[in-house]
Amino acid sequence: MMKRFRKLAFLSAFLSGISLFLAGCGGGADPADEAMAEGVFLVNNGAEPRSLDPHIVTGMPEHRIIKALLEGLVGDHPSDSGKVAPGMASAWEPNADASEWTFYLREASWSNGDPVTAGHFRYAFRRILNPDFGAPYVSMLFRVKNARAYNEGAITDFAKVGVKAPDPRTLVVTLDGPTPYFPLMLTHYTWFPVHPDTLESFDAFARRDTGWTLPENHVGNGPFLLKEWKPNQRIIVEKNPRYWDAENVALNAIHFFPVQDRQTENRMFRSGQLHKTDGIPYNLRQRYRDEDNPAFREDPMFATGYLGLNTLHEGLGDRRVRQALSLALNRELIVREVTKNGVAAGGFVPPGIPAYANADQLPYDPEKARQLLAEAGYPGGAGFPVLEFILANSDTSRTLAEVIQEMWRRELGVEIQILNKEWQVLIADMDNGHFDVFLLSWIGDYLDPATFLKIMRTGDGNNRTGFANQRYDALLQKANQRADLQERYRILREAESILLEELPILPISWAEYLYLLDPAVEGWAPKPLMNQPYKAVRFGEP
């Protein structure tokens, strides 16, 4: 899922929200200390969420909050991204080749007291697969038998889709091939249920932004309830007493703040206004390492920072131009001198899966880059259009973009115009094709190479580049039919080679997750997918 390199957004509105929070704190104690005493976790969310509807979002700012409010068939394991924990299902079992899975639901309820049933999951899957709904993450469900055919209108009877609810507490999911890792996929919010009566009361089955996700209307089944949403100030969730595992939820509430500027959040943490940041400014990363700061965390991350190129725009439709832009990027320098984090990317799929042979296909060769650009008809950049480079409103992303700007100007004579965007605007512009280049990072949804490669399939909701390659698509589909893991990975690696030859995206780095965490916070384990369950978090001694 997407995660931006971020900057200051809506600062005046945010500061007024902070002032309101501080006003409620007595004496001269740090707000973080007072919140800790009350069991309240103060977290920087990095940006204002676009929505809290699990079926229309794709980003980390949304992911973090939705995970507190809703729960799927399985839950996130507290310390291992390669495992799952029980969720709405207390048990599950596959058939012989793992192409069909049966889930047995526990007695659990929605926050309004209604029981959670297998039919609610079937309703949610039908909603996201609805051709009229246009869910950007719909391809996640294409592993379900006939799901793609239903979404694309080839079949109109949802009864033919591989989702059955023979009784209120049994859900059977039939897939398009062997999928031993299917429970890992189910931790993603795309698979989460929604409360049918609530959605129907807002006519929200096939409509977006109808108000059902507002605090006064939201009905969830997760460990927390949506209590307050002050746009661009904060979102508050409080412990859900009706959650099936409420006795093991230690936190009473979580406050999510939308601070995009790294320097601002760093100052907030150091002045006792946050328990956790979303990152660390470039200029402070080595300092925190050198001083062995107990709050400094450097966790492994299954993620790749990359540039997306609009292959439908002038110049960028030529593969030689895209290759030239890639060859002119000194990734080693970027990682060593700018981001001070991780390693230069050799491909799109990052390390983290031992059996998968990671690519090393992204060399730095400015001489060859100039040759390819000249062959494409733009010697020394002559006649090449100025590229519009959009990125999230972040100090760190701006710094990185300026470094890339200088590399392309110096090596190729190519000019770019850098445009900072608020998170919601950035996503809208990418969805509508209003860009030449964008900057994002992709965090895996589960530990499998396909969680990266699938987003570049033809027509995928997360493929905003216009890239379409029938052989690439066919290889991904072929891999889905293989039960043997090594054979599956070999096919996926072949597909990645096509991607790295065509280069609709330019991978930059395989990074680690750098952030600050109050040493008194317990239960926040380092996880490559950044999917720590909030119900495992508690406060110990500082």
Give yes or no for residue 361 having a pLDDT over 90: yes
Stretch 233-251: mean pLDDT: 98
Using CA of residue 343, residue 348, residue 351, residue 356, what is the dihedral sign? negative
Domains along the sequence of the chain with CATH: 2-69+222-299+514-539 (3.40.190.10), 74-197 (3.90.76.10), 303-511 (3.10.105.10)
Place of tokens 């997760």: 222
Reported as a pLDDT band with limits 50, 70 and 90, residue 423 is confident
- What six digits make up the tokens of 300? 């492994």
Stretch 469-473: mean pLDDT: 98
Give yes or no for residue 13 having a pLDDT over 50: no
Quote the pLDDT of residue 396: 84
CB 139 within 8 Å of CB 461: yes
Nearby residues of 2 by Cβ (< 8 Å), 6 or more positions away? 58, 59, 60, 427, 440, 441, 442, 443, 462
Decide which of 182 and 209 is more confident.
182
Quote the pLDDT of residue 393: 81
Q: Using one digit for the tens of pLDDT, what is the confidence trace for 261-305? A: 999 999 999 999 999 999 999 999 999 999 999 999 999 999 999
Quote the pLDDT of residue 424: 85
Determine the Cα–Cα distance for residues 48 and 13; give it in Å rounded to an integer: 12
- What six digits make up the tokens of 196? 């049918």
Q: What amino acid occupies position 519?
A: P
Quote the pLDDT of residue 16: 37
CA dihedral 521, 527, 533, 537 (to 10 degrees): -10
CB 76 within 8 Å of CB 533: yes
Determine the Cα–Cα distance for residues 490 and 9; give it in Å rounded to an integer: 43
Stretch 163-180: mean pLDDT: 97
Q: What is the distance between the terminal CA atoms of the chain, rounded to a whole angstrom?
A: 33
Whole-number percent of the chain with pLDDT over 70: 94
Give yes or no for residue 526 having a pLDDT over 80: yes
Give yes or no for residue 26 having a pLDDT over 90: no
Quote the pLDDT of residue 542: 61
How many beta carbons lie within 10 A of that of residue 158, not counting itself?
15
Q: Using one digit for the tens of pLDDT, what is the confidence trace for 447-456? A: 999 999 999 9
Quote the pLDDT of residue 150: 98
CA dihedral 477, 483, 487, 489 (to 10 degrees): 60
CB 236 within 8 Å of CB 255: yes
Whole-number percent of the chain with pLDDT over 90: 90
Question: What's the chain's average pLDDT?
Answer: 93
Give yes or no for residue 491 having a pLDDT over 70: yes
Strands of 108-240, DSSP E = 163-167, 170-174, 224-230, 234-239
Stretch 500-509: mean pLDDT: 98
Quote the pLDDT of residue 443: 94
Percent of the chain that is helix, strand, coil (3-state, to 5): 35, 20, 45
> Pick from 258, 239, 257, 237: which is nearest to 248 by CA?
239
Give yes or no for residue 2 having a pLDDT over 60: no
SS3 326: helix
Stretch 479-507: mean pLDDT: 96
Predicted TM-score (pTM) of this structure: 0.90
The single-letter DSSP state of residue 330 is -
Reported as a pLDDT band with limits 50, 70 and 90, residue 25 is very low
| DSSP string across 35-100 | HHHTTEEEEE-SS--S-S-TTS--BHHHHHHHHHH---SEEE-SS-TT-EEESSEEEEEE-TTSSE
Give yes or no for residue 210 having a pLDDT over 90: yes
Quote the pLDDT of residue 20: 34
CB 401 within 8 Å of CB 508: no
Stretch 32-38: mean pLDDT: 96
Reported as a pLDDT band with limits 50, 70 and 90, residue 3 is very low
